[in-house]
């Protein structure tokens, strides 16, 4: 237990230091969302209709942006060797790393959502709905993305491969995340159904992600 | 069992075959080391010294043969009882010297001695709050050595351990290795330079 806590603490600390990944994701999110009103034009009704989709797209891309480095950095400096050798099961270590990544890079996106909602003419309920769906959905993005990050290490190819592998897996999360937000804002569908599916996607990826990533890392021992 | 004294350990490999990238690096390799013994693995570049260490550490899967540790902790696998000191230092440039060491001490767990004490032993006690990014190659190596001291493990797998160490550092490291052997540990080191302690040579590859 102390081992996993130490791993989470270390990864968060690195992400929050200068040059770490946490700030990059939030800045990217901010850029995408801030630029969107300029691209769409001053149509407030259109903006608020597109708002949830824009926020979700921004969050999706921002969380993938830093995810490909999840195992690569540890692989390059040899830390991954020691983590593989340790008494801590690799699956748990993978889960701890993903959790740390979500806490450092995913949670700030959700915190930033209410502020960015203002720029997209979203009211309180709409912003709340988007933030809630992001809270339920971004763990799925991180934990499925982790599989791609582990494959990127074992196949010795970086970011591009990871994007190709992970994006299809994140499409269901995007669909149900935006569907749930829209349902809360405009109806007529109920919020509960897509939101439950979103939560289910997160729970499934919480279970599958660490095992798949650990299997990939073990298979690619080199 | 198998003629070992209580508390003594024996690391042995029988008919170990290593295949990397479809090429057979070495085959039919036999070796053994008992507590208090250092084995220097020598051989030309590409003969598989690092591969042998990684096989023992469980970071490569042998294509054939067995590697076992007799007399160790029965609850732990061989890699869990090994320290692996590779070419790469496993240090995070963003973290300070003390943070790097504290992380590995917490993560690897087990019996340990004080981090501050081991930093003093390797001569880094004046730089504990410096980010690892500012360390020289020799200082990074010293910090890696501090990890071996802070977390006690019986088997040390060292890959070119004296690289980047200055003369004083090599003397200090020789002293550390002698202490480790005296405590009943064993050392497998891949090296070109003399190790600085009495060791048995295991020559692999080339036949030269």
- Per DSSP, the residues of A52-82 read HHHHHHHHHHHHHHTTTHHHHHHHHTTHHHH
Rounded average pLDDT over A103-113? 90
pLDDT, chain A, mean = 87
| B15 contacts B65 by C-beta, under 8 angstroms | yes
Whether residue A20 is predicted with pLDDT greater than 80 in this model: the reply is: no
Rounded CA-CA distance A14/A28 in Å is 19
- Determine if the pTM surpasses 0.90: no
Q: What is the pLDDT of residues A158-169, one digit of tens each?
A: 567 777 778 888
Pairing between strand B38-42 and B186-190?
A: parallel
> How far, rounded to the nearest angstrom, does the alpha carbon of residue A162 sit from its chain's CA centroid?
14
Predicted local confidence at residue B2, as pLDDT: 56
Whether residue A154 is predicted with pLDDT greater than 60 in this model: the reply is: yes
Q: What is the pLDDT of residues B87-140, one digit of tens each?
A: 888 888 888 898 888 888 888 886 667 878 888 888 888 888 888 888 888 888
CB-CB neighbors (< 8 A) of A10 in chain B? 92, 95, 99, 103, 107
Q: Does an H or E element contain A214, and which?
A: helix A192-219
Predicted local confidence at residue B1, as pLDDT: 47
B78 and A CB contact within 8 Å: no
ipTM: 0.86
Q: Compute the nearest-CA separation of A68 from chain B (Å).
A: 17
B182 and A CB contact within 8 Å: no
The residue of A3, A4, A10, A73 whose CB has the most chain B CBs within 10 angstroms, and thus the best one to mutate to test that interface, is A10
Rounded CA-CA distance B156/B153 in Å is 7
């Amino acid at each position: 237990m102390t081992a996993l806590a130490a791993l989470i603490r270390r990864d968060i600390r690195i992400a929050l230091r200068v040059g770490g990944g946490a700030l990059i994701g939030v800045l990217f999110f901010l850029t995408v969302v801030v630029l969107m009103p300029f691209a769409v034009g001053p149509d407030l009704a259109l903006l608020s209709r597109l708002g949830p989709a824009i926020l979700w797209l921004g969050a999706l891309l921002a969380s993938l942006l830093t995810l490909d480095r999840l195992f690569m950095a540890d692989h390059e400096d040899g830390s991954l060797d020691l983590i593989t050798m340790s008494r801590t099961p690799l699956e748990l270590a993978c889960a701890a790393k993903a959790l740390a990544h979500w806490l450092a890079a995913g949670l700030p996106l959700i915190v930033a959502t209410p502020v960015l909602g203002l720029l997209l003419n979203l009211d309180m309920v709409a912003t709340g709905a988007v933030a809630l769906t992001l809270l339920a959905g971004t763990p799925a993005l991180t934990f499925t993305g982790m599989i791609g990050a582990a494959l990127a290490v074992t196949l010795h190819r970086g970011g591009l491969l990871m994007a190709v592998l992970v994006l299809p897996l994140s499409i269901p999360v995007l669909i149900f995340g935006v569907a749930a937000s829209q349902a809360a804002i405009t109806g007529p569908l109920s919020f509960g159904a897509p939101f439950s599916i979103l939560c289910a996607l997160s729970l499934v990826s919480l279970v599958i992600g660490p095992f798949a990533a650990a299997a990939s890392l073990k298979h690619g021992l080199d | 069992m198998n003629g070992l004294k209580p508390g003594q350990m024996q690391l042995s490999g029988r008919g170990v075959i290593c295949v990397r990238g479809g090429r057979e690096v070495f085959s039919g390799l036999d070796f053994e080391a008992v507590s208090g013994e250092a084995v220097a693995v020598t051989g030309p570049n590409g003969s598989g010294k690092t591969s042998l260490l990684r096989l023992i550490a469980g970071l490569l899967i042998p294509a054939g043969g067995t590697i076992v540790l007799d007399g160790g902790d029965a609850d732990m696998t061989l890699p869990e009882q090994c320290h692996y000191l590779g070419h790469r230092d496993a240090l995070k440039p963003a973290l300070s010297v003390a943070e790097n060491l504290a992380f590995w001490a917490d993560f690897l767990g087990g019996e340990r001695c004080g981090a501050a004490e081991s930093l003093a032993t390797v001569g880094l006690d004046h730089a504990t709050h410096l980010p690892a990014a500012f360390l020289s190659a020799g200082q990074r190596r010293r910090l890696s050595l501090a990890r071996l001291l802070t977390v006690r493990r019986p088997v040390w797998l060292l890959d070119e351990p004296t690289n980047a160490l200055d003369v004083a550092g090599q003397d200090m490291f020789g002293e550390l290795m002698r202490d480790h052997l005296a405590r009943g540990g064993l050392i497998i080191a891949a090296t070109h330079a003399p190790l600085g302690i009495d060791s048995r040579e295991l020559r692999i590859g080339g036949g030269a």
